[in-house]
Each structure stands twice: as C-alpha cells, then as structure tokens.
Amino acid sequence: MKTLIIASRFCGPPTSANGGYFVGMVALLASRRVSVRLLKPPPLDSEFAVKELPDDGLQVLSGADPIGEAHPASLELEVRPAPEYLEAVEASRRYAGFRSHHFPTCFVCGTQRARGDGLRIFAGPLPARGMVAAPWVPDASLDRGDGKVSPEFMSAALDCPGYYAVAPDDRMMLLAELTAQVDRLVHVGSSCTVVGWHVGSAGRKHEAGTAIFDGNGVLCAKARALWIEPRATNVTAV
C-alpha cells in the first residue's frame, strides 16, 4: 500500500495541509488526471495510507479515517484570456489578504511566509476582466531537479486564487474538491501569472476556475474548484 506525508511547510491553516498541495501529491500517486475531494482537513507530518479503489481512484486514510478521495476525471473549463504581467502585479497590490487573512501562514497565499518559503501568490481583483490575478516567480526550492517546477507546486498555485475569486468579501470557505490539469511545467525563476475567476454558485457552494500562464502568456495549467461555506465558524481547513 502506498503512503503519503504532508510536511508542515505545506500548510494551509497552521495544523492542516494546503488543499491544492494535498491534491497535487495525491495526483502524483494516481499518475493520471483525477478529481480530489477533501473529506477532512489533512493533518501535517502524519503518515497516510493510500488505498486503490475499483475505478482506478485512490482513498487517503488517516488510520481508518478517510481524509480524501481521488477519482479519474476530465476537466471542462473555458479559460479566460491572461492579463499582462504588469496588470497582475498591479492587481496584487489590492490583495484582500493584506488587510486581513484567515490563515496568514498558508503556504500559497500567506502574507507571513518569506520568499523562498511560501509561494506568496497574492491574487487581487481585476474588475474589468472579471477575475483576480497575481504575479508568481517560482523559487529554487520548487525545482524538481531540471529547472522546472514540480507538478505538486503547480497544483498548489492553482488553489488559493480560486478562493479570492469566489469570496471577494473574505467570507470563510473550505476547499471541497479540486480537479487540476498541468500541461506544461513552468521554469524556476520565470515571471508567471496566476488568475482565478468565479464560475458559478448555488447556496453555500461556489465554483472557481484558476489558471497559470508562463512569461510568454502561454497557458500551462488550469483547475476547477468547489468551495463550500461552512455552517459553523470553527473551521480548520482551506
């Protein structure tokens, strides 16, 4: 049976994994495109058992407790045109997380993470384009060994901009499901642009699209996410 451990560096909230990174690690184990549903906050520095399912999916277990499930999936998503890199830089100045942040140590979007530690993807609004956008220059710690960013970090980068696309008022939401497609790995040190946009909502459920473009404006990765507003306020996952 395969196993999986999420190191504390890759947190969302302080005590559980960033959802996009968790999805990326599960997708690596699946070796195919999957839709990953997060059933409970994945604890950090704990060994998970990964069980194969009959449909070629995977179940992630903490002891006997299911934490997440992955199932083979296609991804239907119309990606919006990329803004110019400098537009993304300007948008990031309006990042809502600079005013207040539910999880300021989040690996992807936390304002308290230093360069070379967190991804520091600060997606701010571009109202005229109906999206949020952020610049992203991947650092050397993300290198898979050939000068390109490891795919699990691409998946992580596709996470938090979706939240800011569907929660401009910064209401609490949890990442429930993410389907990511990485077509091309970006290079370490390249000037990338990450965007997110609102796809649709129904009650407490909100869908977002996200995408990563390289320095030439070429689409490299995209994802569709389901975010859910919790009924309670004492939540511990993104």
> Is 220 strand, coil or helix?
strand
Q: Identify whether residues 190 and 215 lie together within a single domain.
A: yes
CA distance 91 to 82: 13
Contact yes or no for 136/119 (Cβ under 8 A): yes
Q: Which amino acid is at 84?
A: E
Q: Identify whether residues 56 and 104 lie together within a single domain.
A: no
* Residue 31: per-residue pLDDT: 86
Q: Identify whether residues 68 and 90 lie together within a single domain.
A: no
120 φψ region: left (φ > 0), alpha (ψ -120 to 50), beta (else): left
* Residue 170: per-residue pLDDT: 86
In a 13 Å sphere around the CA of 36, the CA atoms on its Cβ side amount to: 33
Q: Per the domain annotation, does 171 fall within a domain?
A: yes
Q: Per the domain annotation, does 79 fall within a domain?
A: no
* Residue 128: per-residue pLDDT: 94
Q: Identify whether residues 34 and 94 lie together within a single domain.
A: no
Tokens of 43: 């604890």
CA distance 215 to 133: 14
Tokens of 96: 């809502």
* Residue 173: per-residue pLDDT: 94
Give the number of domains in the chain.
Answer: 2
Contact yes or no for 146/4 (Cβ under 8 A): no
Q: Identify whether residues 47 and 156 lie together within a single domain.
A: no
Q: Identify whether residues 123 and 192 lie together within a single domain.
A: yes
Q: Identify whether residues 203 and 122 lie together within a single domain.
A: yes
Q: Identify whether residues 13 and 107 lie together within a single domain.
A: no
Q: Identify whether residues 44 and 146 lie together within a single domain.
A: no
Q: Per the domain annotation, does 95 fall within a domain?
A: yes
> Is 81 strand, coil or helix?
coil
Q: Identify whether residues 143 and 68 lie together within a single domain.
A: no
Q: Per the domain annotation, does 233 fall within a domain?
A: no
Q: Per the domain annotation, does 237 fall within a domain?
A: no
Q: Per the domain annotation, does 204 fall within a domain?
A: yes
Q: Identify whether residues 121 and 206 lie together within a single domain.
A: yes
Q: Per the domain annotation, does 77 fall within a domain?
A: no
CA distance 195 to 95: 13
Cα 86–Cα 100–Cα 6 angle in degrees, nearest 5? 85
Contact yes or no for 177/38 (Cβ under 8 A): yes
Question: What separation in angstroms does the CA of 202 have from each of 104, 119, 199, 227, 228?
Answer: 28, 31, 11, 11, 10
Torsion sign, CA atoms 79, 81, 86, 88: negative
Q: Per the domain annotation, does 42 fall within a domain?
A: yes
* Residue 238: per-residue pLDDT: 45
Element (DSSP H or E) covering residue 86:
helix 85-92
The CATH number given to whatever domain includes residue 167 is 3.10.129.10
Name 92's Cβ contacts closer than 8 Å, sequence gap at least 6.
Answer: 122, 123, 124, 133, 134, 135
Of 72, 93, 117, which residue constitutes the final position of a domain?
72
* Residue 32: per-residue pLDDT: 87
Name 59's Cβ contacts closer than 8 Å, sequence gap at least 6.
Answer: 50, 51, 52, 53, 66, 68, 69, 70
Q: Identify whether residues 96 and 23 lie together within a single domain.
A: no
Domain residues for 31? 2-72
Contact yes or no for 224/4 (Cβ under 8 A): no
The ranges of the chain with pLDDT < 70 are 232-238
